[in-house]
Amino acid sequence: MLEPWIFVALLLGVGMLLPGVAIAANWLLSPKKPNAIKQSTYECGIETVGETYVQLKGAYYIYALIFVVFDIEAVFLFPWAVAYDKLQLYMVLEAVLFIVILAAGLAYAWRKGVLEWV
Amino acid sequence: MTILQIIFLLTAFLTLLAALRVVTSPSMVHAALWLILALAGVAVVFILLNATFLAVVQVAVYIDAIAIMIIIVVMLTRGAVRGQGHTVSKTWWAAALSALVMLTGLLVMLLQAPVRGALPPTLPLDQEAFLERLGQALVDVNQYILPFEVASVLLVAAMVGAIIVAWPLFVRRGEEER
Amino acid sequence: MDSFWIDPFSFIGSQLAAWLTGLGLAENWVSLILQLVGALALGTAVLILTFLLIWAERKIVARIQDRLGPNRVGPYGIFQTVADLLKLVTKELITPEGADLLPYNLAPLLAVMSVVGLWAVIPMAPTLLGADIHVGVLYIVSVGSIGTLGILLAGLSSNNKYALLGAFRTVALMISYAVPMALALLVPVLLAGSMSMQEIVLAQKGLPFLLLAPVAALIFFVSSIAEVGRAPFDLLEAESEIVAGFHIEYSGLKFGMFFVAEFLHAFTISALTAVLFMGGWRGPWAEQYTALGFLYFLVKTSLVYFVVIWIRGSFPRIRIDQMNALNWKLITPVALAGLVVTAVAEKVALELGAPRLLTHLAGNALLIFAAAAGLGAYARAARRRSELLAKASKAEAPAG
Amino acid sequence: MIPLSWFLIFAALLFCVGLYGALARRNAIAILMAIELMLNAVNINLVAFWRYLGPEAVSGQAFALVVFAVAASEAAVGLALMISIYRRRHTVAVEEIDMMKW
């Protein structure tokens, strides 16, 4: 039952391990001469001013929000799509209604001007 | 002790450790990163429970979507509580006490439950067929059609509400800056 | 037992299993070791493949731009990437001051892991498939997005403004384009009635989904190119705007790992397009001769990969607001409508007995027509607005 | 084979850790994170009962799916409120959000 998942876990582990080994080899082979200038923040030679965590614009939150909503929508629709062959017509139309309600949400965001990149 | 039990104990230990770091870490960014580890641990627990669909959903919804949204908001409100020294409120001991009382109550209840030592029955269906049934149940008028449609209304309501709450302020602020 | 030439993969597997059992190991240990060997082989193979991909891409882009491309190291410069790797390996690993060490070092590993992890569910031949999990498509959606997390970690932990800004731009665009991607992935699931990748390939007997749902295939292809961040969607590393984006503070192989992840991801989305919409290993006699199926898979994937490179060589980089508008105002609504069209068309074809291919094609044609009409109206409105603005500013100009 | 009680104890522990965080943290976003932990603990319980008591019924997984939707909506609206409060008052510490306190 869980056998394929063992392979998935192993492959994910290998996916971490191989780059880890490569970086370790790099660490062994490379020179290690740190100094203050080298390690300072890189901004094309200009002195860094102020703190790193600059104020970001709030629009990023809106994109994350819409993504979350549509992600959940997709998650709800995947079992429906798997069962598609066994569904009657009205069941398909219910899912269409589900999609239309979410599309209305997207249309609202569009009308509101949220989707403009400012 | 079987290999499954060892995997479960390891996962549970790591998840609880990460969860403790979530509620104690002074840095919000670190707390969010520990939250991701805890959520991944819960996904592994779902796999151990043979709920593989929910495990993948856990990663898709929580780690890819909600955690990223939380990190973005942490960055938007950065430094809000910094410099005041305390990550917990003055009455943290009361919180710890109520959590302990809750835990004791839950454990006492668990020990009296008749099913506590139950072992998993063999799965009656293969997972593919089960998923098909879940999909049918979600749109069947006699089963879960109401939660299914209400979920979409809820999501749209949350989206519209969040935009109304958060959006006008960005616009007004932009005008002020200009 | 199959002979080597018909099914090399099962042959090697069963030989190895027989040898391990001969050593006196218990059965579940044998299967565990086999899986470990398989995972190591697959992971190593795709990472080594990256060398070839980087060389191929440089060579093809050079030809498009009327250059020669790498031609010094080895025949046709094929070992150029190896030379580059050797150079990177001897570079100092610089950790910027104020960096958050754990996430800083974890980020490149996560980026590679999310791409290598995708290969667990890609069926490369009838018998060559890492793990036939029944939620394969959703697994692709979720694991593919972990790369976003790697980028976010890199940006947050580098202690650099440009890295932070680059990471947030990237994440905003990547999560935006993940929406139409997930919606387009629902279409093959719906047509095949299964989320298992192998089932989807099997369901494309005679009729690849590319013909049944061309719009969904196009949307999946475009949005995954954007997800990878290839040109023309490579704003995340727009040198002219944000220096280099999220990996500005990385050096040596830590930087190299982001590079590897990007190139491998481009090839992986080609493989996914080939599997989900072009029938994967399907072709004449593929079922009898597994090796032939693997060859079909490679040919189809390379074809799609060539198109990816071709697009990169041909299109200029688009602006970030255009990229954003393209997603939310065109691709996502069309993806939603495409899902509805496919769902209804399939049911109509099943219930009324209408010819399947024709119904789907008619639905898709209608969709394309509606999208084009909407696009035209949008363009006309935009032009009218800009003309009004120009008139207004001209009216003001003489006074000043 | 793992007995049911292990999962239940694990879920109880996770829930109580989340409860402590939700009650004790000052930062409202940290409280939201703690609530996510609690919702996860609930989901573990739902799925564990599904697996051990009725694996042929879909209700456990269907409920868990609805919990996902609710968790996402809760996080979305909660975080929007945090952003709004931060813009107005430059704080997300819960004790300082006391305009409505009499």
The confidence score (pLDDT) of residue B178 equals: 36
Determine, for residues A65 and D65 on separate chains, whether the beta-carbon distance falls below 8 Å: no
Yes or no: say if C218 and C210 are a contact pair by the CB < 8 Å rule: no
How many B×D Cβ pairs under 8 Å?
Answer: 255
Q: Is residue C128 part of a domain?
A: yes
Q: Is residue C39 part of a domain?
A: no
The confidence score (pLDDT) of residue C305 equals: 92
* Closest in C134, C139, C156 to B128, CB measured: C134
Sign of dihedral through CA atoms C269, C273, C274, C280? positive
Does C90 reach chain A within 8 Å, measured CB to CB? yes
Please give the domain boundaries of chain D with CATH numbers for all domains. Answer: 4-96 (1.10.287.3510)
- Which residues are CB-neighbours of A39 under 8 A, at least 6 positions away? C94, C95, C96, C97
C206 sits in the region (left: phi over 0; alpha: psi -120 to 50; else beta) called left
- Residue-wise pLDDT for B140-160, tens only, equals 878 888 888 888 899 999 999
CATH class of A3-112: mainly alpha
> Residue B174: pLDDT above 50?
no
DSSP string, C104-123: HHHHHHHHHHHHHHHTTS--
Mean per-residue pLDDT, C51-62: 89
Residue carrying the six token digits 């869980």: A2
Higher pLDDT, B76 or C142: C142
pLDDT confidence band for C202 (50 / 70 / 90):
confident
D-chain CB neighbours of B128 within 8 Å are: none
The confidence score (pLDDT) of residue C267 equals: 92
Beta bridge partners of B88: D25
Determine, for residues A65 and D76 on separate chains, whether the beta-carbon distance falls below 8 Å: yes
Q: Is residue C15 part of a domain?
A: no
C16, amino acid identity: L
C97, amino acid identity: E
Determine, for residues B159 and A105 on separate chains, whether the beta-carbon distance falls below 8 Å: yes
> Residue B176: pLDDT above 60?
no
* Lowest-confidence region among A67-71, C85-89, C243-247, C287-291: C243-247
How is residue A102 written in tokens?
Answer: 């979410």
**The total number of residues written for chain B in this structure:** 178
End-to-end alpha carbon distance in chain A: 50
Q: Is CATH 1.10.10.10 what the domain over B1-80 is classified as, yes or no?
A: no
How is residue C101 written in tokens?
Answer: 């060490």
DSSP string, chain B: --HHHHHHHHHHHHHHHHHHHHHH-SSHHHHHHHHHHHHHHHHHHHHHTT-HHHHHHIIIIIIIIIHHHHHHHHHHTTTSSTTS--SB-TTHHHHHHHHHHHHHHHHHHHHH-TTTTPPPPPPSS-HHHHHHHHHHHHH-TTTTHHHHHHHHHHHHHHHHHHHHHHHHHHHHHHHHH-
Q: Is residue C3 part of a domain?
A: no
D-chain CB neighbours of B147 within 8 Å are: 62, 66
> Residue A56: pLDDT above 80?
no
Yes or no: say if C90 and C120 are a contact pair by the CB < 8 Å rule: no
E-strand spans in chain C? none
Q: Which of C212, C336, C378, C385 to mutate to test the interface with A (most CBs of A within 10 A)?
A: C336
Determine, for residues A69 and B149 on separate chains, whether the beta-carbon distance falls below 8 Å: no
Q: Is residue C251 part of a domain?
A: yes
- Residue-wise pLDDT for C289-311, tens only, equals 778 888 888 999 999 999 999 98
What's the domain range around C349? Answer: 91-389
Yes or no: say if C151 and C257 are a contact pair by the CB < 8 Å rule: no
User: So where are chain A's domains?
Assistant: 3-112
Yes or no: say if D82 and B167 are a contact pair by the CB < 8 Å rule: no
* Closest in C142, C149, C178 to B56, CB measured: C142
SS3 assignment, position D25: strand
Mean per-residue pLDDT, A2-27: 88
Determine, for residues B45 and D4 on separate chains, whether the beta-carbon distance falls below 8 Å: no
Chains that touch D (3 or more CB pairs under 8 A): A, B
pLDDT confidence band for B116 (50 / 70 / 90):
low
User: How many domains, chain C?
Assistant: 1
CA dihedral C177, B73, D32, D21 (to 10 degrees): 130
Determine, for residues A61 and D83 on separate chains, whether the beta-carbon distance falls below 8 Å: yes
How is residue D94 written in tokens?
Answer: 């819960």
What DSSP designation does C315 have? Answer: S
**HSE on the CB side for A68, CA within 13 Å?**
32
Type and span of the H or E element at C239: helix C239-242
Q: What's the rounded Cα separation, in Å, for the pair B152 and A70?
A: 10
Determine, for residues C168 and B72 on separate chains, whether the beta-carbon distance falls below 8 Å: yes
A-chain CB neighbours of B30 within 8 Å are: none
SS3 assignment, position C128: strand
How many A×B Cβ pairs under 8 Å?
Answer: 136
Mean per-residue pLDDT, C256-268: 89
- Residue-wise pLDDT for C19-54, tens only, equals 888 887 777 788 888 888 888 988 898 888 888 888
Mean per-residue pLDDT, D53-64: 84
Q: Is residue C202 part of a domain?
A: yes
Residue of C nearest to A1 (CA): C133
Other Cβ atoms less than 10 A from the Cβ of C29: the count is 12
* Lowest-confidence region among C5-9, C109-113, D52-56: C5-9
- Which residues are CB-neighbours of C184 under 8 A, at least 6 positions away? C216, C217, C219, C220, C223, C335, C338
SS3 assignment, position D93: strand
Yes or no: say if C188 and C217 are a contact pair by the CB < 8 Å rule: no
Burial label for D82, CB within 10 Å (0-12, 13-18, 19+), is buried
As a whole number, the mean pLDDT across chain C is: 85
Burial label for C123, CB within 10 Å (0-12, 13-18, 19+), is buried
- Which residues are CB-neighbours of D62 under 8 A, at least 6 positions away? B134, B137, B138, B143, B144, B147
Residue of B nearest to C148 (CA): B64
**The total number of residues written for chain C in this structure:** 400
Which of 39-98 (A) contact B at CB < 8 A? 53, 55-62, 64-69, 71-76, 78-84, 86-87, 90-91, 94-95, 97-98
> Residue C277: pLDDT above 50?
yes
What DSSP designation does C398 have? Answer: G
* Closest in B47, B60, B169 to A2, CB measured: B47
pLDDT confidence band for C238 (50 / 70 / 90):
low
The confidence score (pLDDT) of residue A26 equals: 87
Q: What's the rounded Cα separation, in Å, for the pair C289 and C294?
A: 9
> Residue D86: pLDDT above 60?
yes
**HSE on the CB side for C382, CA within 13 Å?**
7
As a whole number, the mean pLDDT across chain A is: 83
* Closest in A76, A94, A108 to B160, CB measured: A108
Name the nearest CA neighbour of B152 among C286, D73, C155, C107.
Answer: D73
